[in-house]
């Protein structure tokens, strides 16, 4: 992996967590926040930490971000500050800006400004939790598009004792298995001849309606 230089603007819960995580992966991380106390607290965990109001054009330019590979805007509650910061970054031609949005409208505005990736951390976690709590046998759930998801399920009964090759999973259910989880091990891609047991979990990708047939 090539190490990257990444700036994280807004060191709330999410910003601090991602900044520390990236730094622990040995990337060069600059943490930025308007609040000096917060900057001081995060400083030991990142490469550099700076106090700045990134809605101030002069201040954000003074951060000299032009050499950075990625800038993450993790300002949350203050939507205006999030939008202004994101807009200034795209005006400065930053090549890869990732911004956190609280709702769909903010996400739409960020996209219009040219933000490269909009993330909805709270929404994503809530959605995954809601799905895994309410769908029986679903351990994990990742929506890949409006209609396609990747899920991890308890081994469906009809597959126990057989293998994928003999399963008709593709023809009959229109689903593809992408992994078999057995204890700590994850077999990816799955061997079509592995005999599946009731204790295994299956990672499957497919249309939501086809997945429903298997999990509801």
> Using CB under 6 A as the criterion, which residues of the chain lie in contact with ligand ATP when the complex forms?
9-15, 33-35, 38, 53-55, 75-78, 81, 164-165, 167-171, 176-177, 190, 192
Q: How far is CA 71 from CA 40, 54, 137, 176, in A?
A: 20, 12, 38, 36
DSSP E strand stretches across the chain:
5-9, 28-33, 48-51, 70-73, 97-100, 117-119, 138-143, 148-154, 176-182, 185-187, 201-207
User: Quick check: bond before 189 cis, omega within 30?
Assistant: yes
Nearer to ligand ATP, 26 or 213 (CB): 213
Nearer to ligand ATP, 55 or 106 (CB): 55
Nearer to ligand ATP, 26 or 122 (CB): 122
CB of 2 to ligand ATP, least distance (A): 27
95: helix, strand or coil = coil
CB of 73 to ligand ATP, least distance (A): 9
Nearer to ligand ATP, 95 or 192 (CB): 192
CB of 39 to ligand ATP, least distance (A): 9
Token pair 């956190």 in the structure block, residue = 100
Cβ-closest residue to ligand ATP? 76
What's the residue count for the chain?
Answer: 216
CB of 188 to ligand ATP, least distance (A): 10
């Amino acid at each position: 992996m090539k190490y990257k230089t990444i700036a994280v603007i807004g060191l709330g819960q999410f910003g601090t967590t991602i900044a520390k995580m990236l730094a622990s992966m040995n990337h060069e991380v600059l943490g930025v926040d308007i609040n000096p106390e917060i900057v001081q607290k995060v400083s030991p965990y990142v490469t550099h930490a700076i106090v700045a109001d990134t809605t101030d054009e002069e201040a954000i330019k003074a951060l000299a971000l032009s050499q950075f590979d990625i800038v993450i805007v993790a300002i949350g509650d203050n939507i205006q500050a999030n939008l202004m910061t994101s807009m200034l970054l795209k005006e400065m031609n930053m090549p890869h800006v990732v911004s956190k949005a609280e709702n769909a409208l903010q996400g739409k505005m960020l996209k219009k400004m040219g933000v490269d990736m909009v993330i909805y951390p709270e929404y994503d976690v809530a959605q995954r939790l809601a799905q895994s709590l309410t769908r029986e046998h679903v351990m994990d759930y990742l929506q890949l598009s409006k209609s396609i998801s990747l899920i991890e399920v308890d081994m469906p009964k009809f597959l126990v004792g057989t293998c994928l090759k003999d399963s008709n999973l593709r023809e009959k259910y229109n689903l593809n298995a992408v992994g078999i989880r057995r204890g700590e091990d994850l077999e990816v891609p799955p061997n079509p001849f592995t005999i599946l047991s009731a204790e295994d979990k299956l990672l499957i990708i497919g249309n939501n309606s086809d997945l429903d047939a298997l999990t509801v």
